[in-house]
Amino acid sequence: MNTDIENLFKDKVIGHPAGLFIIFFTEMWERFSFYGMRILLVLFLTAPMLGTNPGWEWPREHALALIGTYGSMLYLTPIIGVGSPIKLRVINGL
């Protein structure tokens, strides 16, 4: 069993562990889909209601404001999440 694990980490690709490329490409495609879905949401919100590909026909400024609000909340909520257990003394020993 130990020899299998040792051999697993000996595989190298361009001087790096082989698993590093799996991690890199997984993260790359996750980021690609995340930013791609944000763009598709703006396109959907600004598309006309009638036609072959209906949307909600929002003004471009409103759609971009929604995406901006979503992006800001995406990065601000972890900060609030870190501070609230400390403030409420939920974590033992604080």
- Quote the domain boundaries for residue 68: 2-88
- Does the pLDDT value for residue 8 go beyond 80? no
Task: Give CA–CA dist 88/53, Å, rounded.
Answer: 48
Task: Give CA–CA dist 59/55, Å, rounded.
Answer: 11
Residue 94 lies in a domain: no
- Quote the number of domains for the chain: 1
**Predicted TM-score (pTM) above 0.85:** no
Chain-centre distance for alpha carbon 18: 24
Residue 93 lies in a domain: no
pLDDT band with cut points at 50, 70 and 90 for residue 2: low
Residue 76 lies in a domain: yes
CA distances to 49, 51, 78 from 75, rounded to whole Å, are 32, 36, 6
